[in-house]
Amino acid sequence: MYGSQILKLAKADLVKTYRGSALGWAWALVKPVMTIFVFWFAFTYGLRIKPGVDDFPFFLWLIAGFVPWFYMSGMISGGAACIRVNSHLVTKMHFPASVVPTFTSLSRLFINILLIVIMLIIFVAFGHPPTIYYLNIPVYLFMMFLWFTIWALFAGMLSAMSRDFLNLIRAIQQPVFWLSGIMYDVSKIDVQWIQSALSYNPVTIIATGFRKTLIEQEWFFEDLYLMRCYLICLIAISLLAIWAYKKTYKDIPDVL
């Protein structure tokens, strides 16, 4: 019903974010690309870390999980703030609050797809050509988009009602990064219950999925445990989002 409007609003969201700059939305690529370059320099010439998995340079192993993190980190805080940022749609145009997280997520996904293309070019430059396992990438992109869009509905509704909740989400974003296996391999953790608990972290699931595709060359359906953890996480966040929406949707226009 709102398909064409969502696409237009996703584009407008990108334009609005970078309005006034000469490069426009291209600035969304500059920081991630610079971060990737710094990682390459640090791990190739500075730290000189030995190959991580299957003789892959640690740099490639790192960016395989780090590039999806750019989208996920943006959605953790940006998704939580999406309804407040677009309050004019809810209060003046009576636009359904439940649609706002979708175009917010979509605009960030566009940027992340471009970053993934850049990452794949880097893999080729390092001597690792495309494989048939790249067909996994749209699957993990969809999984990532679906979970974090529903997350944005849950967190966005509660953040619209309470700034304290939004501040809490922003405060935990950095701990989430360090607890999600972006910089290390979760499967190497010796304490079994910690490893199992982290397996139910959607950030860990997506980062692991991209690494299984690009490094380990496995199909997404080969790891049924990973898929089961994702489904449990998806059901949990969906139930929370439904609860949050039913509790707050009538009051949000007045609060904002």
pLDDT tens profile 27-55: 667 777 787 778 777 766 666 655 555 56
- Local confidence band at 23 (pLDDT 50, 70, 90 cut-offs): low
Say whether pLDDT at 75 is over 90.
Answer: yes
CA distance 26 to 133: 29
In the predicted model, what is the mean pLDDT of the chain? 85
Contact 53, 67 (CB under 8 A): no
Domain positions in the chain are 3-255
Q: Please compute the mean of the pLDDT values over residues 107-116 and round it to a whole number.
A: 91
Q: Please compute the mean of the pLDDT values over residues 84-88 and round it to a whole number.
A: 84
Residue 232, C-beta contacts closer than 8 angstroms, at least 6 positions apart: 200
Query: Among 18-22, 40-44, 59-63, 72-76, which range has the highest average pLDDT?
Result: 72-76
CA 228 to each of CA 63, 79, 142, 219, 235: distance values in angstroms, whole numbers, following the listed order: 25, 25, 16, 15, 11
**Nearest-CA neighbor of 77 among 166, 6, 9?**
166
